[in-house]
Each structure stands twice: as C-alpha cells, then as structure tokens.
Amino acid sequence: DSGVTQTPKHLITATGQRVTLRCSPRSGDLSVYWYQQSLDQGLQFLIQYYNGEERAKGNILERFSAQQFPDLHSELNLSSLELGDSALYFCASSMRGTGFLSSGANVLTFGAGSRLTVL
C-alpha cells in the first residue's frame, strides 16, 4: 500500500457521460498530480495541485477539470466522455511542489489507479 488512495478502482460508462475520480494523497503530502495512461502507453501528465492551488498544467483536455480541496484530497472530473478517454488514470502525491532539491521531498508516490472504460 503506497498510502495514496484512488477511487473507484474500475469504472465503466457510456460516451457523453461525466465521471469523477477521487484521490487522497499520502499523509503529509501537499501536492497531487494526475496522469493518464492509455493502453500500452507512457504516463501523460495532466495537472498538478499544491496545497489547494493549481501549480502546473500538462496535456489536459478542456473537457477535463480538477481541483484540490482543503483536506488535500483531489478530484478529476471527466465530461462528455469519448471512447478515446478509456485509460488508466493515476494520481500521485509528493511532499512539496517540485523545484525543491532536498532529497525525498519531491519524489512522486503513485496510487493504484482508476481504470476508466468508455463504451
């Protein structure tokens, strides 16, 4: 158990629908990252939050949005779903935002992922 909790583990839905994925970071971590991994592909960075504020954006579609709440858990909202959105969505947490060189502070700890299937 990495300490990063993601729910749901599996989700099957239809095109055009909206889903919400949830992530609770490891205790003490302030930063949450979301990544998308399509079948047999690498990890694509979507977005990062640090202590409730958006810190960095990657290749996140406009149909997707995220937020980090005061208790530091984060939600990724995916709307108007398309077949191509089927993927594993990973959340990772770190103690700080990056840019700090102290060892251990900015390594990413991943959750087990949420597998989204859009039919």
Partner 1 sequence: GQQLNQSPQSMFIQEGEDVSMNCTSSSIFNTWLWYKQDPGEGPVLLIALYKAGELTSNGRLTAQFGITRKDSFLNISASIPSDVGIYFCAADSGTYKYIFGTGTRLKVLA
Chain positions contacting partner 1, by CB under 8 A: 2, 4, 33, 35, 41-45, 48, 50, 55-56, 58, 90, 92, 97-99, 101, 103-104, 106-113, 115
Nearer to partner 1 by Cβ, of 17 and 38: the residue is 38
Nearer to partner 1 by Cβ, of 44 and 65: the residue is 44
Residue 1 beta carbon to partner 1: minimum distance, rounded to whole angstroms: 11
Q: Judge contact between 102 and 67, C-beta under 8 A.
A: no
What's the rounded Cα separation, in Å, for the pair 65 and 78?
7
Please identify which residue in the block is written with the tokens 């597998």: 115
Q: Which of 84, 113, 118, 119 is nearest to 21 (CA)?
A: 113
